[in-house]
Amino acid sequence: MTKVRISDDALARAGGADKLAAAFEAKGCEVQRTSSWGMQWLEPLVEIDGKGFGPATLTDVDAILDGTSDKAIGLIEEHPFIAGQTRFTFARAGKTRPLSLEDYEATGGWAGLKRARQIGSEAIVEEVKESGLRGRGGAGFPTGIKWDTVRKAEADQKYIVCNADEGDSGTFADRMVMEGDPFQLIEGMAIAGEAVGATRGYVYLRSEYPDAIRKMNAAIELCADIIAPFVCEVRVGAGAYVCGEETSLLNSLEGKRGEVRAKPPLPALEGFLGKPTVVNNVLSLAAVPHILTEGGAAAYKDVGFGRSRGTMPIQLAGNIKHGGLYEIGFGVTLGDLVNTIGGGTASGRPVKAVQVGGPLGAYIHPDQFDIVFDYETFTEADALIGHAGVTVFDDTADMLGMARFAMEFCAAESCGKCTPCRIGAVRGVEILDRIKAGGRKRDRLELMPQMHNTQKDQGRDAGDEIGLLTDLCETMKFGSLCALGGFTPYPVMSALKHWPEDFTRNPELVEKAMSEPAE
């Protein structure tokens, strides 16, 4: 009987993988539903004896079975998109059935947890420190140091919280871990629990990921005995982007409004319900089981660039020909990712801009494509890696529109706690609308003689408005409590800086306004 493997990842299913699987079953094949290889432009991808066919539709079934399909891509493992990767976190991607304990164990599952239990908490933290693992959620804080803080804190109860509120557009690696390899994440959490002395873990999962919620719940039930005494529970969010910020997430988990907390106290000391809490991103925790295997920390550390060690699961998204998940060591250049690996735009038009790091990440111009993936290099270039989502835009993109959207998004998702974000974002939308209109003349009311406090001049031209925007962005950047208000200026200012022609007919106004910000 022909063995057919088709992913049951949400993206493959959205592309019709379920019907496809049923069609192969109707032809008498044995169908295995596996995780996704991450070659998303080929989903639904059909695998028979290691060979791939995609994107497959129902009409391709017969041709695939008799070997005449023009959708054949050859051996999947030898495909350049797969062969070029260094997969640690996604080592099982495409190869195992997500909810099969048998598959998980056969591919080295639970080895990290077993070893962690033998070597004890201090040694676990040491190994994580040695691996150089830094928080994959965006901030890049060394995971080992965070764990050590929680380990040394004294409390009757400690918590491990997994931040699975992956709200950034252009990112889907967390979703793929939870849907494709849920046991790995749970193992990572159990190891974290072992390291810091916590027996309870929560996965805060966004409501927009129904498949991931279902699989995580099922996986936790299946492996409850293995991770015991550690107990794990999924908590579903309610559609608030800001809950991806760790303190806001903790409030939400406690059943409060997802408002950001001022730090200190750090969550490591006073987190969930005021107890010491490790809050880590899905990718950070999913990297841990590999690191804790014999020699894993050294292997992880050997890959990377500068102070950014290990691999980063990079997500190629937006208008890109070969979109999907590409896990590789730090140090790869953005140009390589977009043009060589990603194959340029899907529309075939020239690349205009690339946004790295989700809605709060800077827009990067193709002139800067030699920039390498590394936390420090990106910071120097006024950009951020964030969760390593790479969203490509072709030359039809309107950068003023994208800058306006960044402000609009911030206004819609602001938690409302701090003024620069809550009000600044609304003002930002208004200013951008006025820039588009070429400035704003004084209205009749303002010009009335009895309005003593209004200026009676000609009003503001686009240049003045750009000055105001620059000033507003400064205020938001340095005055906001968390990254939502603090980083929204990145996409706005980078769009303004690199594509001034999209904002005004006199691009020199932009240069002038940016060099001398408004008083």
Partner 1 sequence: MSDKSEILGEIIARHHHREGPLLPILNDVQAELGCVDAESEALIAKGLNLSRADVHGVVSFYHDYKTEADARPVVQVCRAEACKARGVEAIIDNATRAAGERVKIETVYCLGLCSAGPAARTGDDLHIRLDAEGITKLVEDA
Interacting residue ranges for partner 1, rule: CB under 8 A: 10-11, 13-15, 40-41, 43, 166-172, 175, 200, 207-211, 233, 235-241, 252-259, 272-273, 315-320, 323-324, 346, 355, 358-359, 389, 391-394, 397, 402, 405, 409, 412-413, 415
> Please, what is the minimum distance in Å from the beta carbon of residue 319 to partner 1?
4
- Which residue, 73 or 346, has its beta carbon nearer to partner 1? 346
- What 8-state DSSP symbol labels residue 339? I
- Which residue, 12 or 431, has its beta carbon nearer to partner 1? 12
Structure tokens at 260: 């950001």
> Please, what is the minimum distance in Å from the beta carbon of residue 176 to partner 1?
8
Looking at this protein, which amino acid is placed at residue 449? P
Q: Report d(CA 165, CA 441) in Å as an integer.
A: 44
Structure tokens at 22: 């049923």
Looking at this protein, which amino acid is placed at residue 355? Q
> Please, what is the minimum distance in Å from the beta carbon of residue 254 to partner 1?
4
Structure tokens at 17: 């993988």
> Please, what is the minimum distance in Å from the beta carbon of residue 132 to partner 1?
28
- Which residue, 256 or 512, has its beta carbon nearer to partner 1? 256
> Please, what is the minimum distance in Å from the beta carbon of residue 392 to partner 1?
6
From residue 498, alpha-carbon distances to 65, 336, 400, 429 in Å are 51, 21, 11, 19
- Which residue, 210 or 507, has its beta carbon nearer to partner 1? 210
- Which residue, 181 or 465, has its beta carbon nearer to partner 1? 181
- Which residue, 105 or 395, has its beta carbon nearer to partner 1? 395
- Which residue, 207 or 455, has its beta carbon nearer to partner 1? 207
- What 8-state DSSP symbol labels residue 322? T
- For the beta carbon of residue 389, count every other beta carbon within 10 angstroms: 24
- Which residue, 170 or 463, has its beta carbon nearer to partner 1? 170
Residue 85's φ and ψ, nearest 5 degrees, are: -95, 160
- Which residue, 330 or 405, has its beta carbon nearer to partner 1? 405
Residue 156 burial (C-beta neighbours within 10 Å; 0-12, 13-18, 19+): exposed
Per the omega criterion (within 30 degrees of 0), is the bond before 517 cis?
no
Q: Report d(CA 351, CA 451) in Å as an integer.
A: 50
> Please, what is the minimum distance in Å from the beta carbon of residue 236 to partner 1?
6
> Please, what is the minimum distance in Å from the beta carbon of residue 111 to partner 1?
29
> Please, what is the minimum distance in Å from the beta carbon of residue 158 to partner 1?
13
- Which residue, 247 or 252, has its beta carbon nearer to partner 1? 252
- Helix ranges, 303-349 (H): 334-335
> Please, what is the minimum distance in Å from the beta carbon of residue 359 to partner 1?
6
- What 8-state DSSP symbol labels residue 350? P
Q: Report d(CA 251, CA 435) in Å as an integer.
A: 38
- Helix ranges, 49-120 (H): 61-65, 80-83, 101-106, 111-119
Structure tokens at 462: 């686009």
- Which residue, 215 or 309, has its beta carbon nearer to partner 1? 215
> Please, what is the minimum distance in Å from the beta carbon of residue 175 to partner 1?
4
Specify the DSSP element, H or E, that contains 290.
helix 282-291
> Please, what is the minimum distance in Å from the beta carbon of residue 227 to partner 1?
18
> Please, what is the minimum distance in Å from the beta carbon of residue 15 to partner 1?
6
Work out whether the CA dihedral 219, 222, 224, 227 comes out positive or negative. Answer: negative
- Which residue, 107 or 199, has its beta carbon nearer to partner 1? 199
Work out whether the CA dihedral 341, 343, 344, 346 comes out positive or negative. Answer: negative
30-33 long-range contacts (CB < 8 A, ≥24 apart) are 30/1, 30/2, 30/3, 30/4, 31/4, 31/5, 31/6, 32/3, 32/4, 32/5, 32/6, 32/97, 33/5, 33/6, 33/7, 33/8, 33/97, 33/98
Q: Report d(CA 372, CA 184) in Å as an integer.
A: 29
